[in-house]
Amino acid sequence: MAKILLTADRTLMSNYHDNEFLGFGTCAPPNFIPEWFYSFLFFPPLKVEGGIPAAAPYGLRKTEAQLLKEGLDVTVISPDHLEEHINEAKVLGIHAMDPFGLGPASSTLAAIFKKEPYLAKYFQLLMSNPEIQKAKKRGLKIIVGGPGAWQFRYRQKFVKDHSIDCIVDGEGENVVGKLFKAALEGDELPSYYEVGVKETPSLEEIPDIVHPSINGLVEIGRGCCRGCEFCNVTLRPLRWYPLEKIKREISLNLKSEKVEGCCLHAEDVMLYGSKNTIPQDDKLLRLHEFVTKNCDGISWSHCSLAAVASKPKLFSQLSEMILSKQAWWGAEIGIETGSAELAQKIMPAKAHPFKAENWTEVVQDGMGLMHDNMMVPACTLIVGLPEEKEADLLKTMELMDDLKGFRSLIVPLFFVPLGRLKSEDWFKRTEMSDLHKQLLFQCVEHDFHWVNDLLEISFRGKWYGRFLREFYKGFAGIAKRKVRQIA
Ligand code: SF4
């Protein structure tokens, strides 16, 4: 086995029954469903051969590709098979998405249910593996990175107790090589490495993945031009991958028997190839022609309501292509607030090319188009923004009423200080007013109204669909009763 092992905890090493939406289940805390059954429903383990998983999180694959490019000896390993291989390893790299459940979705659920979410529990289980601790004593170095790296700043004691040598925060391509080489040499490592703007990789510096990613996820670009105050992404430059690079990664994924579909990942898939906020018809159509011709399923990671609303014809053309292969597709969408006044203060470009003062109309138009074209958005609302007033909350509640008829999930997230607002205070459950609670309840009602419909269309045509659908429905029914008791 290799000198460098890369891994991630069990909640990240899953294909979520080929349905990224189910991955949200890892944000929930342990509950009335027995753990073995909950993990089967929401994050079943990946197939493994000789300790090597059939696929891995895309971010981990990028690190692997970069280290291989620099001539290092590296293997991605399942967290359940570390014991068998860790003795030969000199460095263990760990991918962390939301290691302490401080991300908006998990921290909101944790605050409501007063329990730590599964993803935090499994990250800690991984880090407490006695074999890692034994290997540590004989000199193993541990390097942690990934989108959740920022959370370690709030958990210094954990870093010390688990002898983590280095945390890498930011896009790692230009720095992981030197850090892992230093670790192999036994050199001292910086305890926290924040990747500077000058070290951010250009497109040419980002290697293609060399082994399959979970659910065929491929990045089509990095960064975002909208500049919302509360967002980390906005601090990075905007770069779109050339179509040829995306095609190469999709083709690599499809060579694996375990990957048939593709999830296009960007902060706004609708803006692929665009230097501003206007979607580029040609580029999007060519990308989707390739994906729908070659893949058995497609999803988008994120897109914006404004981009959808700005090009309704293009959006239905894309939808037609996608629906020739499947019944629906999904993406995460940021609504954040129903108050145009608040939108103008904290996310003035989110509505662009429309005016921020028309934010609510943009949301309604975008949501209507998505409903008509069978895109199912998982939308977020931010609760407790530093500048939020009662009038803003009332407007968000009015908007929720207007969105009732649109097939969607709408999730309220407690404000987490990130991006340009990182020095602000966290929003806590104890600060929730009656209006906050009513809004939360409105979201829960909305989601449970649509969840059965979503389950029907999600599992339609799959041989195991009927069986799984009934379990999820049962789970949703019990969850609904529990949430009503808490709200
Ligand atoms: S649109 Fe989304 S990704 Fe872009 S800055 Fe705003 S919140 Fe961040």
Q: Could you give the CA distance from residue 331 to residue 322 in angstroms, rounded to a whole number?
A: 13
pLDDT for the residue 220? 98
pLDDT for the residue 376? 94
Pocket mutation for ligand 1, best pick of 219, 220, 222, 234 (most atoms within 8 Å of C-beta): 234
pLDDT in tens, 50-65: 999 999 999 999 999 9
* Nearest atom of ligand 1 to the alpha carbon of 227: 5
Separation of CA 359 and ligand 1 centre (Å): 15
Residues 6+ apart with CB under 8 A from 195: 168, 169, 170, 171, 172, 174, 175
pLDDT in tens, 278-323: 999 999 999 999 999 999 999 999 999 999 999 999 999 999 999 9
Residues 6+ apart with CB under 8 A from 72: 3, 4, 177, 180, 181, 184
Helix (H) or strand (E) holding 383: strand 375-383
Q: Could you give the CA distance from residue 179 to residue 451 in angstroms, rounded to a whole number?
A: 45
pLDDT for the residue 115? 84
Q: How confident is the model at residue 374 (pLDDT cuts 50, 70, 90)?
A: very high
pLDDT in tens, 206-229: 999 999 999 999 999 999 999 999
Q: Could you give the CA distance from residue 98 to residue 118 in angstroms, rounded to a whole number?
A: 10
Q: Could you give the CA distance from residue 356 to residue 172 in angstroms, rounded to a whole number?
A: 34
Helix (H) or strand (E) holding 84: helix 82-85
Sign of CA dihedral 235, 241, 247, 251: negative
Q: Which of 436, 348, 331 shows the shortest CA–CA distance to 385?
A: 436
Q: By three-state DSSP, how is residue 218 classified?
A: strand
pLDDT at 453 over 60: yes
Lowest mean pLDDT among 88-102, 243-257, 440-454: 440-454
Give the start-end residues of each E strand in 276-366.
Answer: 298-300, 329-336
Instruction: Judge contact between 218 and 58, C-beta under 8 A.
Output: yes
Q: Is the CB of 166 under 6 A from ligand 1?
A: no
Separation of CA 334 and ligand 1 centre (Å): 8
Q: By three-state DSSP, how is residue 94 classified?
A: strand
Q: Is the CB of 350 under 6 A from ligand 1?
A: yes
Mean pLDDT of 413-424: 82
Q: How confident is the model at residue 470 (pLDDT cuts 50, 70, 90)?
A: low
Q: How confident is the model at residue 233 (pLDDT cuts 50, 70, 90)?
A: confident
| Average pLDDT of the chain to the nearest whole number | 90
Pocket mutation for ligand 1, best pick of 219, 222, 228, 303 (most atoms within 8 Å of C-beta): 228
* Nearest atom of ligand 1 to the alpha carbon of 347: 6
pLDDT for the residue 128? 94
pLDDT in tens, 86-128: 988 999 999 999 999 988 788 777 777 778 899 999 999 999 9
Cβ neighbours around 320 below 10 Å, total:
12
pLDDT at 230 over 90: no
Cβ neighbours around 26 below 10 Å, total:
27
Separation of CA 123 and ligand 1 centre (Å): 27
Judge if the upstream peptide bond of residue 353 is cis by omega within 30 degrees of 0. yes
Q: How confident is the model at residue 473 (pLDDT cuts 50, 70, 90)?
A: low
Residue nearest to atom 3 of ligand 1 (CA): 267
Separation of CA 309 and ligand 1 centre (Å): 16
Q: Is the CB of 267 under 6 A from ligand 1?
A: yes
Lowest mean pLDDT among 32-46, 90-104, 335-349: 32-46
pLDDT at 418 over 60: yes
Helix (H) or strand (E) holding 264: strand 262-265
Q: Could you give the CA distance from residue 212 to residue 451 in angstroms, rounded to a whole number?
A: 31
Q: Which of 46, 118, 121, 126 shows the shortest CA–CA distance to 94?
A: 126
* Nearest atom of ligand 1 to the alpha carbon of 304: 1
Q: How confident is the model at residue 32 (pLDDT cuts 50, 70, 90)?
A: confident
Pocket mutation for ligand 1, best pick of 350, 385, 416 (most atoms within 8 Å of C-beta): 350
Q: Is the CB of 334 under 6 A from ligand 1?
A: yes
* Nearest atom of ligand 1 to the alpha carbon of 232: 8
* Crossing angle (nearest 10°) for helices 104-113 and 118-127: 100
Q: Which residues pair with 6 in a beta bridge?
A: 76, 93
Residue nearest to atom 8 of ligand 1 (CA): 231
Q: Is the CB of 231 under 6 A from ligand 1?
A: yes
Q: By three-state DSSP, how is residue 169 classified?
A: strand
Answer left, alpha or beta for residue 419, where phi above 0 means left and psi between -120 and 50 means alpha: left
Q: Is the CB of 227 under 6 A from ligand 1?
A: yes
Here the tokens at position 252 are 């690599």
pLDDT at 408 over 90: yes
Give the start-end residues of each E strand in 171-249.
Answer: 192-194, 217-219, 221-222, 239-240
pLDDT for the residue 461? 60
Q: Is the CB of 233 under 6 A from ligand 1?
A: yes
* Nearest atom of ligand 1 to the alpha carbon of 225: 4
Q: Could you give the CA distance from residue 215 to residue 117 in angstroms, rounded to a whole number?
A: 23
Angle at 347 between CA 197 and CA 435, to 5 degrees: 130
Helix (H) or strand (E) holding 245: helix 243-255
pLDDT at 467 over 70: no
Lowest mean pLDDT among 42-46, 56-60, 89-93, 338-342: 42-46
Residue-wise over 44-61: b if at least 16 C-beta within 10 A, else e? eebeeeebbbbbbbbbbb
